A and B are shown apart, each in its own frame.
Chain A
Amino acid sequence: EAGVAQSPRYKIIEKRQSVAFWCNPISGHATLYWYQQILGQGPKLLIQFQNNGVVDDSQLPKDRFSAERLKGVDSTLKIQPAKLEDSAVYLCASSLQIGGGASEQYFGPGTRLTVT
């Protein structure tokens, strides 16, 4: 089966600019996650969707980050305006369900963002 797709793979922007990332989860996966992974750290959950509803966005910096999953399939994550500390790899993951045996998360290749 096709895996989680993300684009772009790399992005370089200047601080105060805007950027958007796109994620296409595995077909049929109801749950979608966005993670931020800063160099030398593990992934940190930013937001979690169940279909097109937000389940958890407690760690999303809402003053500059936004995410949507309008039709319960693809998702976009936006940063506006970007700061230097936003430089990281942004990972998208999906799972069939949140809990139980179908909760294994499958990760995309990530988008490496560099803010200069």
Chain B
Amino acid sequence: AQRVTQPEKLLSVFKGAPVELKCNYSYSGSPELFWYVQYSRQRLQLLLRHISRESIKGFTADLNKGETSFHLKKPFAQEEDSAMYYCALKNLGGSARQLTFGSGTQLTVLP
């Protein structure tokens, strides 16, 4: 069974400080990993996916298969980064290819 763990429910950092949101996964095959974000009063939306290897809004995430982790990082946090962040895993086998979400981390960037 696939599982995604986000160990921090709440995370607060000051503006300009680095931020890292942790995500660990368990899956026996080759997964595809994503970060989704939900800003206040907005819809859940895709932030980035590991296969794109891109930086979105200054955020990056590297898939570490040895540690089964996909931590989200930003060197200098901004107040507008305050949101709920969900790590998600998609199984690439089978026809369904469903997304499994972690329980989320609420990031608050303090002024």
Which residues of chain A have a CB within 8 Å of any CB of chain B? 3-4, 40-45, 48, 55-56, 91, 98-99, 103-110
What's the tally of chain B residues with a CB closer than 8 Å to chain A?
A: 20
Q: Give 1 or 0 for each of B75-111: 1 = CB within 8 Å of chain A CB.
A: 0000000000010101010011111111110000000
Most buried by B among A4, A41, A48, A105: A105
A42/B97 in contact, CB under 8 A = no
Q: A42-B86, A42-B104 are in contact. Are A107 and B43 (CB under 8 A)?
A: yes
B45/A44 in contact, CB under 8 A = no
B96/A41 in contact, CB under 8 A = no
Q: Give 1 or 0 for each of B33-54: 1 = CB within 8 Å of chain A CB.
A: 0000000000111100000000
In the complex, what residues of A have CB within 8 A of residue B90's CB? 103
Point out the residue from A45, A55, A98, A107 that lies within 8 Å of B44, measured CB to CB: A107
In the complex, what residues of B have CB within 8 A of residue A44's CB? 101
A99/B97 in contact, CB under 8 A = yes
Give A104 to B52 CA distance when docked, in angstroms: 12
B96/A55 in contact, CB under 8 A = yes
Give A3 to B42 CA distance when docked, in angstroms: 12
Point out the residue from B92, B99, B103 that lies within 8 Å of A41, measured CB to CB: B103
Quote the shortest CB–CB distance from B50 to chain A (angstroms).
14
